[in-house]
Structure 1
Amino acid sequence: MSETTQHLEHHHGVGTASWSMAATATAHCLTGCAIGEVLGMVLGTALGLHNASTVVLSIALAFVFGYALTMRGVLRAGVGFRTALGVALAADTVSIAVMELIDNAVMVGVPGAMNAGLTSVLFWTALAASLGVAFVLTTPINKWMIGRGKGHAVVHQYHH
């Protein structure tokens, strides 16, 4: 039995994950995604990049900031960089990928949002809505993964 599974059993029972736990994990993931997503959308829009380039930049930055936030906490627990990176990859990859798929689909799907400009209410409303939709739709996935000792569950052993 893995340390993660033992930790979950000890604190939450076998194979269980509360909605609260899933929402907390999703909010953690969303924080990194939102920083990267907003920065990417702002930079892409300000630089006049093509929509596809802006989306790619936003996704790349979402992964960078998402992993960085997880690694920060794991590194504080005293583990090495490579281990922290491995934990972040295991903890956040699926969550960030799902979140980014949903988030960017909403942004691209809102007519005019990608071309609205940084001073437009449409741009910021669509971006905020896309992050909200991503949170709502990613939380059940995180609940399912945490209940199986996957995803954000691998980080729990480093929370002391």
Structure 2
Amino acid sequence: MITRVEDVFAPAIEVLRPILSDPMVAVAWALLVGISIGILVWDIRNRNRALPSLMKGVWTLVTVYSGPFGLALYWYAGRTQISNDSVWRRGVRSTAHCYSGCGAGEVFGITLAQGVLALAVGWVAAITFGLAYVFGYSLTVEPLMQEGVGFREAMADAFYSETPSITIMEVVAIGADLLLASHAHTGDILFWMALALSLSLGFIAAYPVNVVLVRLGVKEGMKNPAEMGGG
């Protein structure tokens, strides 16, 4: 089955690997990420201080993972200046919340299992999936417990609301990363660039799932930032 999947995506892989291995592309991407983070930090400090600390952290991680794409998501759905809220914006915020935690688990898992320990593909996938769930659930469980919800209830809520999103996100993200760079190590440009691309692909895949969950009332989609007033 793995060979069949590789055959299906072989043309895309052949195009993407040389691009993602190019030092100039890596430098350009690093500059874009740095600029995007600078814009985000400036906007939060000067215009959006009213955002909760959790969401400030979420948008920072989203922009670290996805650069200008992450900044565009923040501009569309995360600022207090948005003109009107919608299920689409709520879906973005919900996906971003999931993405920030799962992304951290994926980065840590891939770096440890593949980049440092050089484990087999199956172990890399298993460890990374496990850490993505742990990090993703914790970002839901911890705030609920701070509000007085018991651990079991918080875990049940996280499992019910986050599992579909995390599963789709990580199947796509980890799958894309392993297809592009399963034999790369931390010293290879391909390792980091494939990881960055795979994270954004995971967000895109999970977004429709979160929109449906928000529309069905399974997830709230995070609070409307416009209700918090100008920063």
Considering the TM-score relative to the shorter chain, is it more than 0.5?
yes
Partner residue, 2:186: 118
Q: Which amino acid in 1 is paired with 2:96?
A: A
Aligned residue number for residue 172 of structure 2: 102
Q: Is the 8 A contact 1:87 1:154 kept in 2?
A: no
Deviation at 1:154, TM superposition (A): 8.8
Offset at residue 91 of structure 1 (A): 1.5
In the TM superposition, 1:2-21 aligns within 5 A as 18-21=87-90
Aligned to 1:35: 104
Q: Confirm or deny: 8 A CA contact 1:91 1:155 kept in the other structure.
A: no
Q: Following TM superposition, by how much is the alpha carbon of 1:130 offset from its aligned partner in structure 2, in angstroms?
A: 0.6
How many Å separate the matches in 2 of 1:17 and 1:141?
15
Note if contact 2:93-2:221 (Cα within 8 Å) is conserved in structure 1.
Answer: no
TM-score (norm 1): 0.81
Q: CA RMSD in A?
A: 1.7
Q: Which SS does the other structure have where 1:153 is aligned?
A: coil
- 2:153 alignment partner in structure 1: 83
Aligned residues: 138
- Offset of residue 96 of structure 1: 0.3
- TM-score, normalization: structure 2? 0.57
Which deviates more, 58-67 or 115-124?
Answer: 115-124
* Aligned mate of 2:139, from 69, 92, 98: 69
Q: Following the alignment from structure 2 to structure 1, what is the Cα–Cα distance between the partners of residues 138 and 86?
A: 24
- 1:128 maps to 2:192: no
Q: Which amino acid aligns with 1:153?
A: E
**CA shift for structure 1 position 65:** 0.6
Structure 2, unaligned runs of 5 or more:
1-84, 224-231
For the 8 Å contact 1:26–1:135, the answer to whether it is kept is yes
Shift of 1:108: 2.0
Structure of higher RCO (CA pairs closer than 8 Å, 6+ residues apart) = 1
The 3 A distance-change label for structure 1 pair 154 and 87 is farther
Structure showing greater Rg = 2
Q: Is the 8 A contact 2:90 2:221 kept in 1?
A: no
In the alignment, is residue 153 of structure 1 matched against residue 220 of structure 2?
yes
In structure 1, list runs of 5 or more residues that go unmatched. Answer: 1-15
